[in-house]
Amino acid sequence: MKPVHYLLSAALMFTAGSAFADMAKNPISVHVLNLQTGVPTAGVNVELDQQQGTQWIKLAEATTDAQGRIPALYPQGKAAQSGIYRVVFKTGDYYKSTGQQTFFPEIPVMFKLEKTDQHYHIPLLLSQYGYSTYRGN
């Protein structure tokens, strides 16, 4: 193998390793896949909220990357706390930006974060008129 190939391979492993390290440190990640096209959905704004009493407190907001992922949604430098959370996928804004209609202007997904040492991955399988979600890994 040529030296350039070694450098490229090392760079790719470092980049992938950094992404996995971010996910390992950060307790919450999301992934949006388009069910109609079968490809990741880039450009979806996602909000993370934590329930405190009867109110929702916004903790973070980010946009899915080219792979449809947000690998680290929980606020950096803040220790994970158990409790009720929700991720709100701003699907109406996304579809409006693509010139398409959708039935769901937002998709809120509520979940309980119980074990602060675990990673919580929330995938969203999305189409204009339907969706599915589950706890991923």
HSE value, Cβ hemisphere, 13 Å, CA-based, for 124: 31
Q: Is 121 annotated as a binding residue?
A: no
Would you put residue 18 in left (φ > 0), alpha (ψ -120 to 50) or beta?
alpha
Tell me which DSSP letter residue 40 carries.
Answer: B
Q: Give per-residue burial for 74-98: e unless 16+ CB within 10 Å, then b.
A: beeeeebeeeebebbbbbeebbeee
Q: Is 135 annotated as a binding residue?
A: no
Q: Is 119 annotated as a binding residue?
A: no
Query: What is the rounded CA–CA span in Å between residue 82 and residue 84?
Result: 7
Contact partners, residue 90, CB within 8 Å, separation at least 6: 44, 45, 46, 47, 106
Q: Which residues are annotated as a binding site for substrate?
A: 31, 69, 134
Annotated binding site: 31, 69, 134
